[in-house]
Amino acid sequence: MKRLMTLSTLFLVAACDTSDGQGASTSGFVTNTGVRVNPVNANVFEVVPKAGARGSSPFWCGAGQYARRALGAQDNARVHVVGGVGPGVTSTSPDTAQFSLLPAGQAEGATGRTGSWGPSLGASKTVISARSGCSRSSDRDLR
């Protein structure tokens, strides 16, 4: 009986694993380009690009698609960087950035960190501009 309970526990733990093997949760939002976005709280969300991604485009793409599709923000709404690139709070990825529809000083729960690369703390773009870095062919149906 003890062995059966141990096996049942192992099976349950394996079934509950929500990581993608790269430290990103698989329970959050995923863009058409494979970027993951996880809510931190009601006002802050964390963008987790694919491993090895460089530059700001994957972060802005994730933030723009999440704001539009998950939060229902209009194309002219602004998306703000409220935490520069660094270790995730919703995943174990070393390269995440936090965004909000609120400016950095008003988004409670954000890291507020300044990253050494990627989108700059305090920067903002309109939702449509943020989404412009996404794959155009897959993004047509998102408008």
Residue 12 covered by a domain: no
Count up the domains in the chain and report the number.
1
**In this structure, what token pair is assigned to residue 20?**
């993608």
pLDDT bucket at 135, cuts 50 / 70 / 90: low
Residue 12's pLDDT is what? 34
Residue 47 covered by a domain: yes
Residue 7 covered by a domain: no
| Residues 36 and 24: beta-carbon distance below 8 Å | yes
Residue 60 covered by a domain: yes
- CA dist., res. 41 & res. 17, Å (int): 21
pLDDT bucket at 62, cuts 50 / 70 / 90: very high
- CA dist., res. 86 & res. 67, Å (int): 21
- Reference 33, options 113, 132, 107, 122; nearest CA is 132
Residue 50 covered by a domain: yes
Residue 71 covered by a domain: yes
Residue 66 covered by a domain: yes
Asked if pLDDT for residue 31 goes beyond 70, the answer is yes
- CA dist., res. 66 & res. 49, Å (int): 13
Model confidence, pTM: 0.77
Tell me the three state secondary structure of residue 56.
Answer: coil
| DSSP assignment letter at 66 | I
